[in-house]
Amino acid sequence: MSNFAINRRQLLQAGGVGGLAAALAAMSQGVAEAAPKQQGAGEPIITDLGPAVVQFSLMSSLLVGDTVYIGSRNLNPVRIIGFHLPTQTVTSRTDLGSGYSIQALAADATGQYLYAGVLRDGIDGKPNIYRWDLSTPGQPAVGVGETGDRDIRALAVAPDGKVYAAGGGQTTNAPSLWEYDPATNATTSWGVPDPGATIAQAIAATASTVYFGTGSTLGGGNGSSPARLFAFDRTTKTSTNILPAEVATGVSVTSLSVLDGQLGVGVKGPGKSVLINLADHTKYTIIAKTGVMFRQLGNQVFFVKEPGVWAYNMTTKKITQILTEDVGAMWGLDVYGNKAITVSSYDVIEIDPPTKTAVKYDLTQAGAPGGPQLCMGLAAGAGDVYVGGTGTIARHQLASGQVSYLRATGEAKDAIVVGGILYTGQYNSRGIYSYDPKTGQLPYQVAALPAGQNRPLDVCWDAVNGLVIAGAQNDTGGGGCFAAYNPVTSQVTTKVNPIDNLQMVRAVATKDGVAYLGGDNIYASGPRSTIVAWDPIANQELWRIDPGQTAGVAALAIHGRYLYGMSRRAAGLFVIDLDTRQLVHTGDLSSVCTDFGALTVSRGIIYGVSDTTVFRIDPITFAVSVVVAGINGGWYSGPHIAVDEDGLLYTTQGTNLVRIDDKGAMQTMRR
């Protein structure tokens, strides 16, 4: 047996992301590869390979005094750490009692209290607003309030200490503006200003006004509203939409910041930002670039527009880039003295605006406490298993048991291994990435997707044409795209909305040089599970069929003449005969799945995984049987299952990577 271990030196050399050295060492000890567990005669052998992804990942930051406070992402428990700028070390930490990520941080005017809002899986009766007394950082943060919305994505503290929250999270309920009053400990709703909104991502507060930004996660469908910015009078609690017409076609207001007499407004969609006069909302200045997290130093307004940090000179009206390096996602921006401070997925970055130079402080080396993380995509082959995390990809080398971490901006939502080379579908708007372990070069983009096609959902290999096939979703406008990347020529072929204007390309599969695209329509009307046969060379449709599912396609796999499809929301299994182009079978999957899932083929059998169960589908009878009940994988964006050249299956059980050998399946099915 091989022991699971993280080689810290290799991790750091590869730009790795992890936690405290002590924490990593502690995790490495005691997670030695478990002895294979065989349930009984003919039952699968399950081997625990240890934590799938271990790191400190983050989703927010805020400078208070000399310390940058950073909120974690996809870690349990969720935590806030304090990075002390003078000593360049992590000097404080507190854990919260609910949620899976912290996207919202705000401090009161005195700098004594730090408030945090969490993202959570459901409305659970636990606090989603926490307060940490920074004068006694050794004491834990306490839960002080729960809003009626599932998520909190932005917080603001007014000068009088009242706290305001924005979020949403349930598409059936438009987001409210929430107020927490520390004097009474009461959390109350100020109402829903826009019944058509699906998300609220931005909030700001002054002595007289609360600014509340709303919009939609997917625009243009189901009657959802565009971006709106409401100014709430704090005395009357009445509101007015003050978003200027020049940006009113945006999808969502994404950022609000109170500056010196102005409100910095970020809007997704129109390619512009706005500075609104706080005293007179009819007066405003348009900045000709999308931005978020506005901060001011003198006559310059800094903002983030990935992949950089920019400065808008209010006197000359010029825009300059002050951080030119692509550091990946950035989760905060502040001014510290005469420097700008931002926090990427890996580093605290100190920027000198006049010289456009930057100094990075690695959070791992500074002592950020890592832990097992919820996982993204998964791929196996050539002796490796790759697991996507936030800003990183874990490479598990099966022969040695060694795990190394590869910096990869964004998230690997799905992946495949072809000839020892890894190809990933990389969110957000990063297209297709490649990694060849023989070169030692970090994963990098080899193919871009069309504008707006920011979320690659499924990746597969077309062996006939030598193409990496990917399907994607447009988070902003709805719909999706098809993409085919040729590693030999480096050419990429794409088609926006190959199914229709509403269906994203949720799943892809290939056979005999033909790609099959599975649609998913989240809106109330229109086809929702269309299968399209696509010629990737001619880049055109060959034929289509609607299997009549009540929900969209979650996954596709092909074995022999049959295309197997798994529908979302436990809508069922469907099987299409590719020779006759007919639907030949539908079946119930409600006993083994609830919503998202994945399919693969191993040793002539179709395997699937849901959030609860690994199951198999008999290729002759189409009967469904359980392989592993209670797998309960720790996935962030839907379960995955991969197969290597030996037919061994890989998925997660909790946050651990597991290998499944179902060698007794054929004998069981024959009986």
Q: Which residues, 6 or more positions from 667, have their beta carbon under 8 angstroms from its beta carbon?
A: 42
**pLDDT tens digits for range 438-461:** 998 999 999 999 999 999 999 999
**pLDDT tens digits for range 170-203:** 878 899 999 999 999 999 999 999 999 999 999 9
Sheet-wide strand order for 491-496? 455-462, 467-473, 480-486, 491-496
pLDDT of residue 667: 65
pLDDT of residue 3: 28
Q: Which residues of the chain have pLDDT under 50?
A: 1-34
pLDDT of residue 668: 63
Q: Which residues, 6 or more positions from 49, have their beta carbon under 8 angstroms from its beta carbon?
A: 4, 33, 385, 396, 398, 401, 656, 657, 658, 659
pLDDT of residue 355: 97
SS3 1: coil
Cross-strand pairs, 508: 517
**pLDDT tens digits for range 202-257:** 999 999 999 999 999 876 556 789 999 999 999 999 999 999 999 999 999 999 99
Q: What is the mean pLDDT of the chain?
A: 92
Q: Is the peptide bond preceding residue 454 cis, with omega within 30 degrees of 0?
A: no
pTM: 0.90
Backbone angles phi, psi at 23, to 5 degrees: -65, -40
Give yes or no for a contact between 443 and 408, defined as CB atoms under 8 angstroms apart.
yes
pLDDT of residue 308: 94
Pairing between β-strand 402-418 and β-strand 5-6 as defined by DSSP bridges:
parallel
pLDDT of residue 670: 53
- CA distances (Å), 421 to each of 16, 386, 481, 559, in order? 19, 11, 24, 24
Q: CA-CA distance, 58 to 369, in Å (whole number)?
A: 11
Q: CA-CA distance, 44 to 666, in Å (whole number)?
A: 11
pLDDT of residue 221: 58
Burial class for 526, CB neighbours closer than 10 Å (0-12, 13-18, 19+)? middle
**pLDDT tens digits for range 546-572:** 999 999 999 999 999 999 999 999 999
- CA distances (Å), 613 to each of 34, 509, 589, 610, in order? 20, 22, 11, 5
